Structure 1
Amino acid sequence: MSDYLHLNKANWDQRAPLHAASSGYGTEAFVKDPAHLSDVVRFDLPRLGDIAGQRGVHLQCHIGTDTLSLSRLGARMTGLDFSPASLEQARLLAQRCGAEIGFVESDVYAADRVLPAGGFDFVYTGIGALCWLPRIDDWARVVAALLKPGGRLFIREGHPMLWAVNEDREDGLVIEYPYFERAEPTVWDDDGTYVETDIALTATRTHEWNHGLGEIISALFRHGLQLTALEEHDSIPWEALPGRMVLDGCGEWRLAKERWRLPLSYTLQGVKLG
């Protein structure tokens, strides 16, 4: 296993039980209410359309809240993640909710070797996934390999402009980190996570990469996908820039001032040709 996979996997294995127990992921709400959906999936309901009966795979599914939400919309879902601790929580949640979802442990770059190639009506990727991958072209290849002809990619992600901003600089929107993909990772050493918890991580070192929006789209083009929709949003489902954002009534955070200055997330859709 490469260094970045080893480091990132250890970090996410420690995050998983903390996230499952947090109010931020709201797992108990899924158990109590069979119609409950994650904020991320609910945000994109008008864009998702009718997915009932479709076979979908959620890449980098983490603890499975978005995967479960897509299942509740009628899709036949598979979730894939490289963290066994995350998948343990995902399977437990699906079991508690009576949902039939298959979860597979794998590095995303090997997804087309552990799942049926050309076997899916749609591939779904959610917020905060692509930044953990060093090469966007390899991801696009996997997406294309998993989709059947005419199958759809659906992705909601943090905007690469947001990832380039230093979240700790409250004196302004300071571009400090790479926008374009680089071979060298951005290395972090942090004992916290993005949910409220009193427990400090011991696997603190992680590697991340940014990918420009043009790089993502070009990679999809190279592997036979046609872009069908792209919408940039001025909101994101967590307080990405602490102290400078306000929460709306739908679980989305926006800049408190001058929202027009920075795109925070985007929704992209594409169709596999052939």
Structure 2
Amino acid sequence: MDRSHQLNRASWDERAPLHAASKDYEVELLVQQPAHLSETVRFDLPRLGDIRGLRTAHLQCHIGTDTLSLARLGALVCGLDYSAASLMQARRLAGRCNTAIDYVEADVYQADQALQAGTFDLVYTGIGALCWLPRIEPWARAVAALLKPGGRLFLRDGHPMLMAVNEDHQDRLQLEYPYFEQEAPTVWHSDQTYVDSDQRLTQTETHEWNHGLGEVISALLAQGLQLAALVEHQSIPWEALPGQMDKGADGEWRLGLAPERLPLSYTLQAIKA
């Protein structure tokens, strides 16, 4: 296990209970309201379509709020993540909601070894996942291996153009970080997680990588998947550019001034031939 992997997994292990306790992940709403869905899945609904009965793998599932939401839509879903602490929270949530969900601890690059390859109708990856992967090609290989012929990948993630913008400039959009995948990570230091919490982190260093839109699509095409849909959005579920964004009633954040300047997230769907 390399240093980046160790640092990032330790960070997610520490964040997991903080995220489960925060209002941002709506854990208590999910427990109290059996029909409630996570904000992420609510946004995805128009493009997800009817997933009742679909055997579904949720990759990089974290604490399972989106996984539970997919199950509530009728999917036969299992979740995979490399953070044991995250999966502990996910299993606890599923138990509190009396929902049978299988959770598997494994690295996403080995997802097809940890889960039953070639059996899934749907592979779902929620927003904010790909930036933790050093390379996109092994991820695309695992996705293709999991899907059965005719199976579908559903991916929504932060747009790589947004990820290249330095959020510290609150008066302009300034490109300072890589757009294309690089061998060396972008290194971050912070004692705060992205939810509202008074607790400070001890695991303060994380490593991230950007993956250009063309790189993601090319990696999937190389694995025999066919692009079925691509939508670029002017919104994202967190305040990615502090001081420049407004939050809508749907929980999504948008640029307050001239939002047409920058795509903030995208939804990609691909079918295994």
Secondary structure at 1:44's aligned position in 2?
Answer: helix
Q: CA deviation at 1:171?
A: 2.3
Task: Note the 1:1-274 alignment, pairs <5 A.
Answer: 1-273=1-273
Partners of 2:47 and 2:27 in 1: CA distance: 24
Q: Contact 2:120–2:147 (CA<8 Å) still a contact in 1?
A: yes
Partners of 1:23 and 1:44 in 2: CA distance: 20
Partners of 2:194 and 2:47 in 1: CA distance: 27
Secondary structure at 1:69's aligned position in 2?
Answer: helix
CA deviation vs aligned residue, 1:32-51 (integer Å, no higher than 9, x gap): 10000011111111111110
CA deviation vs aligned residue, 1:41-80 (integer Å, no higher than 9, x gap): 1111111111000100000000001100000000000000
Secondary structure at 2:203's aligned position in 1?
Answer: coil
> TM-score normalized by structure 1?
0.99
CA deviation vs aligned residue, 1:180-232 (integer Å, no higher than 9, x gap): 00001101111111101111111111111000000000000000100000000
Partners of 1:27 and 1:6 in 2: CA distance: 27
* Gap runs ≥5 in structure 1: none
Partners of 1:219 and 1:86 in 2: CA distance: 28
* Gap runs ≥5 in structure 2: none
Partner amino acid, structure 1, of 2:122? F
Q: Contact 2:171–2:244 (CA<8 Å) still a contact in 1?
A: no
Structure 1 vs Structure 2 CA RMSD: 0.6
CA deviation vs aligned residue, 1:107-146 (integer Å, no higher than 9, x gap): 1011111111101101000110000000101100000000
Percentage identity across aligned positions?
Answer: 68
Partners of 1:190 and 1:248 in 2: CA distance: 27
Partners of 1:204 and 1:107 in 2: CA distance: 21
Secondary structure at 1:173's aligned position in 2?
Answer: coil
Partner amino acid, structure 2, of 1:193? T
Secondary structure at 1:61's aligned position in 2?
Answer: coil
Equivalenced residues, count: 273
Secondary structure at 1:206's aligned position in 2?
Answer: strand
Partners of 1:18 and 1:167 in 2: CA distance: 24
